[in-house]
């Protein structure tokens, strides 16, 4: 069911879009009237089950495509963005793909650290570069949204590499906003708090920590993936036409009290 038409006429591309928050972002783009949605991931089968995301989007009456991409590779990003030419080029590029580590404390291994950074930070830059190149060529006033996290603003000792990458994403968005603004390309980041995804509920230890955060959150509940999707849709739309370089926290107020 369409919620609004704020993305009408826009082609939206979402990386890491087949599961969790990424899936919600892709569905939100369709609900808000996108002309077409292109979803990228390493597999089109959602980790939390259900139909492939392209099928779900097309059930909403919006053309959808799935494209495999390893966002840590420049060539994959370039090919992915070119896939949007079927729909007159990308208007909204949402760089959501990211990974976490099982062992991510102060003794994180060099190999794990570099693997995480190649996806969480390098992949953001490569994806933004590919999108900006096409937007410039097609003279589009585009929007690029980078997915950060509250862990990139307020961290802990168990997320050393992850928090470092997400903090870098925030500064990357600011730097790109300054660099691409003269081309009418806006760049922003979104920092979700604790979001109630299927993976979160399926992991008892993580769910226990999340419950503690819920009690500390001013709104006294966890966020919904769709709420992150709506925030991204806003930043991709013309309603945010004079907003660039910000970090939009979707955290129920949690960062204001910790």
Predicted local distance difference test score (pLDDT) of residue 203 = 55
| 11-195+224-252 CATH | 3.40.50.720
Is the pLDDT assigned to residue 201 strictly greater than 90? no
The span from the CA of 246 to the CA of 120, in Å, is: 19
Is the pLDDT assigned to residue 205 strictly greater than 60? no
Among 33-37, 68-72, 132-136, 154-158, the least confident range: 154-158
Q: What is the mean pLDDT of the chain?
A: 94
For strand 92-95 and strand 143-147, is the pairing parallel, antiparallel, or unpaired? parallel
Where are the domains positioned within the chain? 11-195+224-252
Is the pLDDT assigned to residue 238 strictly greater than 80? yes
The span from the CA of 34 to the CA of 44, in Å, is: 20
The span from the CA of 160 to the CA of 165, in Å, is: 9
Average pLDDT (193-214) is 76
146-168 exposure pattern, b = at least 16 Cβ within 10 A, e = fewer: bbbbbbbbebeeebbbbbbbbbb
Is the pLDDT assigned to residue 233 strictly greater than 70? yes
How does residue 22 score in pLDDT terms, banded at 50, 70 and 90? very high
Q: Which of 181, 123, 183 is nearest to 147 (CA)?
A: 123
Average pLDDT (193-219) is 80
Predicted local distance difference test score (pLDDT) of residue 206 = 64
Percent helix, strand, coil in the chain (nearest 5)? Answer: 50, 15, 35
Is the pLDDT assigned to residue 176 strictly greater than 80? yes
Average pLDDT (188-194) is 97
Which tokens hold the place of 35? 């002309």
Based on its alpha-carbon atoms, the radius of gyration of the chain, rounded to whole angstroms, reads 17
Predicted local distance difference test score (pLDDT) of residue 54 = 93
Average pLDDT (87-98) is 98
Percentage of the chain beyond pLDDT 90 is 84
Q: pLDDT higher for 38 or 50?
A: 38
How does residue 202 score in pLDDT terms, banded at 50, 70 and 90? low
Average pLDDT (68-80) is 97
How does residue 204 score in pLDDT terms, banded at 50, 70 and 90? low
How does residue 194 score in pLDDT terms, banded at 50, 70 and 90? very high
Tell me which residues are annotated as active site. Answer: 149, 162, 166
Q: Where do the H-state alpha helices sit in the chain?
A: 20-31, 53-59, 74-82, 110-117, 123-137, 160-180, 198-202, 204-216, 225-236
User: Tokens 């970090």 — which residue?
Assistant: 247
Percentage of the chain beyond pLDDT 70 is 95
Q: Which of 96, 82, 172, 168 is nearest to 131 (CA)?
A: 82
CB 6 within 8 A of CB 230: no
Farthest CA pair distance, the chain: 49
């Amino acid at each position: 069911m369409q919620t609004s038409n704020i993305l009408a006429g826009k082609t939206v591309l979402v990386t890491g879009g087949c599961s969790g928050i990424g899936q919600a972002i892709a569905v939100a783009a369709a609900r808000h009237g996108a002309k077409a949605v292109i979803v990228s991931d390493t597999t089109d089968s959602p980790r939390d089950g259900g139909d492939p995301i392209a099928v779900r989007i097309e059930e909403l009456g919006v053309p959808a495509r799935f494209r495999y991409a390893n966002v840590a590779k420049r060539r994959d990003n370039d090919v992915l963005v070119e896939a949007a030419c079927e729909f007159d080029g990308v208007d909204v590029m949402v760089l959501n793909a990211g990974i976490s580590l099982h062992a991510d404390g102060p003794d994180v291994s060099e190999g794990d650290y570099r693997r995480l950074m190649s996806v969480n930070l390098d992949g953001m830059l490569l994806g933004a570069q590919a999108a900006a190149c096409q937007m410039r060529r097609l003279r589009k006033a585009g929007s690029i949204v980078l997915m950060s996290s509250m862990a990139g603003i307020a961290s802990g000792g168990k997320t050393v590499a992850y928090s470092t990458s997400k903090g870098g994403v925030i500064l990357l968005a600011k730097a790109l906003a300054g660099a691409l603004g003269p081309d009418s390309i806006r760049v922003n980041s979104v920092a979700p708090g604790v979001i109630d995804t299927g993976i979160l509920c399926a992991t008892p230890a993580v769910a226990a920590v999340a419950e503690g955060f819920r009690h500390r959150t001013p709104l006294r509940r966890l966020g919904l993936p769709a709420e992150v999707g709506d925030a991204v849709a806003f930043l991709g739309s013309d309603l945010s036409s004079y907003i660039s370089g910000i970090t939009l926290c979707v955290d129920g107020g949690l960062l204001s009290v910790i």
